[in-house]
Amino acid sequence: MDEGKKHEGGYSWIVVWGNRTIVAGLLLILGFLALLQSPGNTVEHPGLVFSQSDLPQLQDRIKSDEHAELWAEILQEAEGYCTPGTDRYADPSDVDGGPTRFGKTIGHSFGRRLTRWMETLGFAYWMTGEERFGDHGAQLLVASARALPATDERMAQSYAGGRGDFMRGLALGYDWLESRLNPVEKKIVEETSAGYIQNILDDAHQDNMWWVPYHNYSGVAFGAAGLLSLNLQEAYPEKSKVWLEDC
């Protein structure tokens, strides 16, 4: 469940296990293998964080005494997301329900939840090879892309950082679960992703935009848009070059 951490400006919602975020946990296991794909029209998935050639090393790491406990927690969470009736079940028919934030901050709720689902299920899928993790993650990804495009009123009014959070979820989901998508589903995710990239760049080019050029939202938004642009090099070969340069 989401835990709220109060600070002077209000509530900062951070999804945690005790005092560890899943992102920190995954980076610990990955050992900072990040091999960010070089721009080019041929894209291999996964490729944003690790590649298939890294799998043997990663699978050895999760079995080690150092990482076994964390891996067990990730796997347990993935199981919960896939199991109806559990507190953690992630229902593809309700991907835009139950936000913990409202107004301009609602994008953070949807985006961080999507990212959490994609990180957990995508990583569990590649580490175990169990298709149920990949297939359920793919259902959540496609449902989220359908329900929450950049033109959705809730997302359109959200801060750039919230849209950036959502783009990060789309980027990781597409990279880690692309093999579980059929052509129609791929197109849905690609079109939604392209819409978010163009949306955030159009915003950034407005006169006197308050979060450009230097703000914490700049990294969140442009970083995620850049990851999506790398994913879309085959689907949008010409546009992706412009997007990457702009990001």
What residues contact 154, with CB distance under 8 A and at least 6 apart? 96, 106, 107, 110, 148
172 in any annotated domain: yes
pLDDT of residue 30 exceeding 80: no
Do residues 193 and 171 touch, judged by C-beta distance below 8 A?
A: yes
pLDDT at res. 1: 35
Whether residue 95 lies inside any domain: the answer is yes
Question: Is residue 242 included in any domain, yes or no?
Answer: no
Give the pLDDT score at 179: 97
Taking only the tens place, the pLDDT of each residue in 33-64 is 544 555 555 678 999 989 999 999 999 999 99
Residue 130 within any structural domain of the chain: yes
Is 20 a residue whose pLDDT tops 90?
A: no
33 CB neighbour count, 10 Å cutoff: 14
Q: How far apart are CA 157 and CA 220, in angstroms?
A: 17
Query: How many domains are contained in the chain?
Result: 1
Q: What is the average pLDDT value for the chain, to the nearest integer?
A: 85
For residue 60, give its domain range: 3-237
pLDDT band at residue 145 using 50, 70 and 90 as cut-offs: very high
In a domain, 160, yes or no: yes
In a domain, 96, yes or no: yes
Residue 23 covered by a domain: yes
Evaluate the CA torsion angle 223, 226, 231, 235 in order and state its sign.
positive
CATH number for the domain spanning 48: value is 1.50.10.100
Checking if the pLDDT of 141 tops 50, the result is: yes
pTM of the model: 0.85
Residue 247 in any domain: the answer is no
- In three-state secondary structure terms, 148 is coil
For position 9, what pLDDT does the model report? 32
Amino acid identity, residue 220? Answer: V
Residues 8-37 have a mean pLDDT of 46
State the burial class of residue 51 (Cβ atoms within 10 Å of its Cβ: 0-12, 13-18, 19+): middle
Beta-bridge partner residues of 3: 14
Q: From 243, 161, 158, 162, select the one nearest 195 (Cα to Cα).
A: 243
**pLDDT, tens digit (0-9, with 9 covering 90-100), for 71-127:** 999 999 999 999 999 999 999 999 998 766 678 889 999 999 999 999 999 999 999
The larger pLDDT score, comparing residue 130 to residue 222, is at 130
